[in-house]
Structure 1
Amino acid sequence: MKKLKSLRGKTILVTGVAGFIGSNLVLELLKKNEVNQIIGIDNMNSYYDISIKEYRLQQIEKLVNEIKRIKWTFINGSIADKKLIYDIFYEFQPNIVVNLAAQAGVRYSISNPDAYIESNIIGFYNILEACRHSYDNEQSGVEHLVYASSSSVYGTNKKVPYSTDDKVDNPVSLYAATKKSNELMAHAYSKLYNIPSTGLRFFTVYGPAGRPDMAYFGFTNKLLKGDTIEIFNYGNCKRDFTFIDDIVEGIELVMQAPPEKRNGEDGLPIPPYAVYNIGNQNPENLLDFVNILQQELIRAKVLSADYDFEVHKKLVPMQPGDVPVTYADTSALERDFGFKPSTDLRTGLRKFAEWYKNFYQL
């Protein structure tokens, strides 16, 4: 088990703070009431409904006003803006950086590749460079860089569950390629500049106020409008759905355990670098997932009790860039932190359905 370092009095920078994971992480940090200051940056792009991003920021503001002790600063800007990132690091001197800003989505990367290179490659490079220069003039610098990777890096690996020891050299989407690139870039910077960094491969994150481009949210929107939902690979896909609270708990633990700085026999730094899977370790068949979702939408009165789902379901072939199964081996996370995501799918979808009803005032 790793020894955890307290977050008490720390200054935390969270990129992608209006995003699903970023906003929930900040809310949890505020509730714990230990850190000194949180700086959040987000470019508030219109990849999906901005009102959900604004809602998430409002939840943060509300909690900040209740707590009052923790300093909170939101910056509307892009991590691809190098000067802005340098200015943020210079002004706030963050102790811990959590990079969650990224252009998400596998299918969108096929039609809009530029957005992925800008945010996921150039933006991440700017973060790495800012971390590097945080040590200039013998400053203490960034203690830990934690960044989002993705289960997409596993591509069409036949071996399951996916282990961080597996080779991941065959991405099937540009999105996956950018995430693998992030891991390689972070490793290089860890080796060259002794920057402690940890990558987290997230597995199908879901929950209240989630991303509308994710299946559970998109299906709900379509069913409510009476549209037909398409279930890919004729329903034979399996996904390791991971509830947002479990993801945030995992990030918080990892933040407190930067990889140790030490030198090898050659006197040079051994890269203080780690990668973990965060998944539920329990893949669900898409058809089973849809059945639970429809039951919970009826229970929450989002849909009527007599809704005819069969009429609104269509089984279709696999989409380009998609993979048939995602399945996390979380043994490293359990070994180092004694933690394993455990929220079952019904509980998670129930919380989503109840949030959906309230948010859209149905």
Structure 2
Amino acid sequence: MLKKTQKVLVTGGAGFIGSHLIDNLIEEGHIVISVDDFNEYYDPDIKWRNISAHCGNPKFNLIRCDICDRSRITQVFLDNQPDIIVHLAARAGVRPSLTNPSLYTEVNVNGTLNILEAAARIKVKKFIFGSSSSVYGVNKKVPYSENDALLTPISPYAATKIAGEALCHSFAHLHHINMIALRFFTVYGPRQRPDLAIHKFANLIMASQRVPVYGDGSSQRDYTYIGDIVKGIRLAMDYQLPQYYEVFNIGNSQPVKLLDLISWLEEVIGIKVEVDYQPTQPGDVPITWADTQKAERLLMYRPITPLKEGLVSFVNWLGK
């Protein structure tokens, strides 16, 4: 991992992925600047709890700031002069983007542009962009490879992530910034956002309520444990790019059917529930499946957490 103490700025630092990354960085002795606006997409108290353990640590600086506030973001970068930026802040979620695409464009595209402009101004050494498997859209070729064309997004959220990658590529080229985009595949584990499927399903199962399934339950997702995601980010932070821009899939490369996921959750929790079948939702893709050969070859990335093991960890956290 990073050979010397680095100053790392993490946007979306109080969120699910960001807070786990910060735990790792603080534990290794790095200086961390966490930028988060604590918006109301889900309960802000959850985000405060995610990073509360580090408040008061002299190596941790929490800044409440909206990435859409261009002048404020620029000043934060000028004041703190980070060595590395990990840009995770975004409006998340496919389905909400269908009803409010302008908000997703404002945050995920214009907000990312603000971050990139500020990064270029301070001549940052390394920039990591948190992208998504959603960029592959309804690509019929599986598993998804980084070389696949990104021409079939089926949600505004996916389109904004493609736009974010394109902006990163252009800034890497124009400003000679070492830039890596990481396409995350269905992240789960302790602190998972409450709107995500595993979290929602587990709560319903624990309450002995029916679990809604959109479609026939045959859709598949490449569920990736949060510890493996953080490992992928850290490996990317250490990677010495032979050129200015690179993209990697960070996934588990083992897609699981939705009905199988529910069965495993029932087994881990110890409660059987009834499935409530609903019509397929617009914006949902039938499968996500990461081809991780490139990340394995260049980053030495290898996910190690089987889904059942990760579900036990998540359920134990949820039951606390």
TM-score interval for Structure 1 and Structure 2 normalised by the shorter chain? over 0.9
- Give distance in 2, aligned partners of 1:43 and 1:258: 31
Report the alpha carbon displacement of residue 209 of structure 1 after superposing the two structures with TM: 1.1
User: SS state of the match for residue 107, structure 1?
Assistant: helix
User: Does residue 279 of structure 2 align to residue 317 of structure 1?
Assistant: yes
Give the counterpart of 2:74 among 53, 77, 86.
86
Q: Which residue of 1 aligns with 2:96?
A: 108
Report the alpha carbon displacement of residue 195 of structure 1 after superposing the two structures with TM: 1.3
Q: Which amino acid aligns with 2:162?
A: K
Give the counterpart of 1:18 among 14, 18, 29.
14
User: Does residue 195 of structure 2 align to residue 199 of structure 1?
Assistant: no
Q: Which residue of 2 aligns with 1:154?
A: 136
User: SS state of the match for residue 216, structure 1?
Assistant: helix
Q: Which residue of 2 aligns with 1:127?
A: 115
Report the alpha carbon displacement of residue 258 of structure 1 after superposing the two structures with TM: 4.4
- Give distance in 1, aligned partners of 2:47 and 2:108: 19
Q: Which amino acid aligns with 1:276?
A: F
- Give distance in 2, aligned partners of 1:105 and 1:228: 22
Q: Which amino acid aligns with 1:50?
A: P
- Give distance in 2, aligned partners of 1:177 and 1:7: 36
Q: Which amino acid aligns with 1:309?
A: V
Q: Which residue of 1 aligns with 2:316?
A: 354
Instruction: State the Cα deviation string for residues 294-341 of structure 1 (Å, max 9, x = none).
Output: 11122xxxxxxxx4413xx11233210000100000001000122211
Q: Which residue of 1 aligns with 2:23?
A: 27
Q: How does 1:299-338 map to 2 (within 5 A)?
A: 307-310=271-274, 313-338=275-300
Q: Which amino acid aligns with 1:159?
A: K
- Give distance in 1, aligned partners of 2:3 and 2:128: 14
- Give distance in 2, aligned partners of 1:190 and 1:143: 11
Equivalent residues, number = 320
Q: Which amino acid aligns with 2:19?
A: S
Report the alpha carbon displacement of residue 122 of structure 1 after superposing the two structures with TM: 1.0
Q: Which amino acid aligns with 2:252?
A: N
Q: Which residue of 1 aligns with 2:229?
A: 247
- Give distance in 2, aligned partners of 1:256 and 1:235: 39
Give the counterpart of 1:219 among 201, 210, 230.
201
Q: Which residue of 2 aligns with 1:269?
A: none
- Give distance in 1, aligned partners of 2:13 and 2:179: 19
Report the alpha carbon displacement of residue 287 of structure 1 after superposing the two structures with TM: 0.7
CA contact 1:198–1:258 (8 Å) conserved in 2 = no
Moved more, 101-110 or 316-325: 316-325
Q: Which residue of 2 aligns with 1:343?
A: 305
Distance 1:124 1:258, change over 3 A: farther
Report the alpha carbon displacement of residue 343 of structure 1 after superposing the two structures with TM: 0.6
The unaligned stretches of length 5 or more in structure 2 are: none
Report the alpha carbon displacement of residue 211 of structure 1 after superposing the two structures with TM: 0.7
CA contact 1:144–1:258 (8 Å) conserved in 2 = no
Larger Rg: 1
CA contact 2:209–2:273 (8 Å) conserved in 1 = no
Give the counterpart of 2:37 among 36, 40, 43.
43
TM-score normalised by the chain length of structure 2: 0.96
- Give distance in 2, aligned partners of 1:281 and 1:14: 26
CA contact 2:211–2:273 (8 Å) conserved in 1 = no
- Give distance in 1, aligned partners of 2:261 and 2:54: 30
User: SS state of the match for residue 170, structure 2?
Assistant: helix
Report the alpha carbon displacement of residue 125 of structure 1 after superposing the two structures with TM: 0.2
Q: Which amino acid aligns with 1:317?
A: P
TM-score normalised by the chain length of structure 1: 0.85
